[in-house]
Amino acid sequence: VGFARLALPLTQLAEQKEKILEAAAIALLIALVFSLILSVVLASQLTKPIQTMTVSARQIAQGDFSVRIKPRTGDEISDLASYFNQMSSRLESTINQLTNEKLQMDSILSNMKEGVLALNARGEILLANASLRKIFSLSPDILHKMYFEGFRHPGLSELARSVLSEKQNQTAEISLGLPE
């Protein structure tokens, strides 16, 4: 019976261990740098379309509805860009329609011989056409004032009070006591 003993000096094993740790550290550092570069590139590719949409949204908020985003990829961001463009087109169309309707309404109201007064629920004057201002000798800056600040005519004040208390549209004929 016998035995055999094989051994290496511990210094040689320690050197091998240090070389393995050094190689692992270098590989880890290279992988970290590579993943950092890759993540920066991917992040910029993802955020660039979002930044473009942000700039476009800012332009639309400032009233420039001609802004369109060109979808570049076939992913969800492209879908979002397409929906953004549709929303911008519809918003532009709606604002143009509202502007035209307002111009028509202003034209109708300014050419009416009858006086027209509109108040909100709190009693602020929203609208007073030129005929009403002329009939009651009201100043042009009565809009957004409370009705009792804007005019002092008792008949008109009573009508405004009645409308506010009953919360219904009303029509009335007010006599000014003048032959005209």
Secondary element (H or E) of residue 49: helix 10-61
* pTM of the model as a whole: 0.57
Q: What does the pLDDT profile of the chain (180 residues) look like in tens digits?
A: 788 888 778 888 888 899 999 999 999 999 999 999 999 999 888 888 888 888 988 998 898 888 888 877 778 888 888 888 898 899 999 999 999 999 998 888 888 888 888 888 888 999 889 888 888 888 888 899 998 888 888 888 888 888 889 888 888 887 776 655
CA distance 84 to 116: 40
